[in-house]
Amino acid sequence: MDDFCIITINIRGLKRRYRDLTAFLAARRPHIVFLQETLLSPNQRADTHGYILLRADRNPPAQGTAIYVRSDVVARELTLPDVPFEAQVILMKIGANELLLINAYVSPQGQLPAHELQRILSLRAPTLLIGDLNARHTAWLCPATSLSYA
């Protein structure tokens, strides 16, 4: 897997961007795509050819996350216990090794304290946390620093 590609997108409504996303998937064929703020209800379809879709919908539709895993990628969905934000987890096999991938969404009003982040990242190694954490810091040219990450 020399050119392995993982993409993350805060899609802010998958239904209205579904055609663009499926065209992107067909053209670029990324291995894994993490989506945040899908805003899908459980009865809305979002499958696409060549990908397995893992969803975490909210009812009524709000936020929500999804992961598209290309059908040739060996991965399985896991549960992340007691987290203070939306999270989907997959365990991916790369040869004889495993990689834990976390698709995360923290709302602008949500919190992700540093001790909670450290706990999550120490559950299993190696771990890659990807998503929209709504983190702000002046070092990243934001006008203020998010207090929820202190």
Q: What's the whole-model pTM score? A: 0.90
Length of the chain: 150
For the chain, which residues make up each domain, given as ranges? 6-149
Question: Average pLDDT of each block of 10 consecutive residues along the chain (150 residues)?
Answer: 88 96 97 97 93 90 92 94 89 91 91 85 88 87 73
Contact assessment for residue 28 and residue 48, using Cβ atoms and an 8 Å cutoff: no
In CATH terms, 6-149 corresponds, of 3.60.10.10, 3.40.50.450, 3.40.50.1970, 3.10.105.10, to 3.60.10.10
Distances (CA, A) of 56 to 38, 44, 89, 126, 140: 9, 12, 11, 23, 30
Q: What is the pLDDT of residue 72?
A: 96
- pLDDT score recorded for residue 149: 55
